[in-house]
């Protein structure tokens, strides 16, 4: 059996491979955390696959964006298509989470946090974070006052309930900062304001309502290039962060 894939605070995980693939990178990391076989394929490849882990991750990013942004998210499920140059839409991310990046049978919702008061953001943050567990990650869309510009992942490693935050432009893994979320001063990927949470739960805004109300998701911040699994010193981890 493949070893379990984990990311810990202080490690550097995969980086997004294009200016617009932060959402896809988050969805892929969530899938790797849930599916050890898939993680083993990304890191080690299969017989005859001469690509590097970075190349396989980049290819998987493109395939993920094709699903999240096309009219078919997965067989039998229609969604509003979205230009890939504008990033990953929340409704496409929701469908991908339910299909591949969370436990089988999970139901997700989109929560709009942009216009909330601080006290309301606090309540939402506490409620959503309390629901995060292995196989039940959360995507967080952040940006400026007018537009969402970036996506990060809130997750728990297999066998743990400690909530961590993955920021894909740099690949950093750290603890989420509650007060920064409440005050809309996140400072993640260069952006501060929380816009959406794509979180487990049976209720929330319909994806259709989100699609109709927020039709501007622009080009996201360009990511630096780097290795798939790294420490902050730059030392390659290879398979070493799979324990």
DSSP output for 177-192: -HHHHHTT---BTTB-
Q: Are 109 and 151 in contact (CB under 8 A)?
A: no
Is 204 a residue whose pLDDT tops 50? no
Structural domains in the chain? 11-231 (3.90.70)
Q: What percent of the chain has pLDDT over 70?
A: 81
Distance between CA atoms of residues 66 and 71, nearest Å: 9
Nearest one of 43, 40, 14 to 171, comparing CA atoms: 14
- pTM for the full predicted model: 0.83
User: If DSSP codes are grouped into helix, strand and coil, which group holds residue 110?
Assistant: strand
Q: What is the pLDDT of residues 27-43, one digit of tens each?
A: 999 999 999 999 999 99
- pLDDT tens for 135-151 read 999 999 999 999 999 99
- Please compute the mean of the pLDDT values over residues 199-222 and round it to a whole number: 49
Q: Dump pLDDT digits (tens) for 42-61.
A: 999 999 999 999 999 999 99
78 pLDDT above the threshold of 50: yes
Q: Which of 19, 22, 17 shows the shortest CA–CA distance to 89?
A: 22
């Amino acid at each position: 059996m493949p070893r379990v894939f984990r990311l810990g605070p202080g490690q550097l995980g995969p980086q997004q491979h294009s200016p617009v693939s932060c959402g896809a990178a988050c969805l892929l990391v969530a899938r790797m955390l849930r599916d050890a076989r898939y993680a083993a394929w990304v890191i080690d490849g299969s017989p005859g696959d001469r690509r590097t882990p970075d190349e396989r991750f980049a290819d998987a990013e493109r395939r993920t964006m094709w699903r999240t942004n096309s009219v078919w998210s997965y067989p039998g499920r229609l969604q509003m298509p979205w230009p890939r140059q504008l990033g990953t839409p929340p409704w496409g991310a929701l469908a991908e989470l339910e299909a591949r990046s969370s436990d089988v049978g999970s139901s997700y919702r989109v929560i709009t946090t942009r216009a909330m008061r601080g006290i309301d953001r606090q309540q939402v943050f506490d409620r959503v974070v309390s629901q995060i567990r292995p196989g039940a990650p959360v995507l967080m869309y952040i940006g400026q006052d007018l537009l969402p510009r970036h996506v990060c992942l809130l997750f728990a490693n297999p066998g743990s309930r400690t909530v961590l935050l993955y920021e894909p432009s740099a690949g950093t893994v750290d603890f989420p900062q509650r007060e920064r979320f409440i005050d809309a001063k996140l400072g993640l990927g260069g952006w501060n304001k929380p816009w959406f949470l794509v979180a487990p739960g049976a209720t929330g805004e319909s994806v259709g309502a989100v699609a109709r109300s927020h039709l501007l998701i622009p080009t996201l911040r360009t990511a630096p290039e780097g290795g798939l699994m790294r420490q902050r010193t730059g030392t390659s981890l290879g398979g070493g962060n799979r324990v």
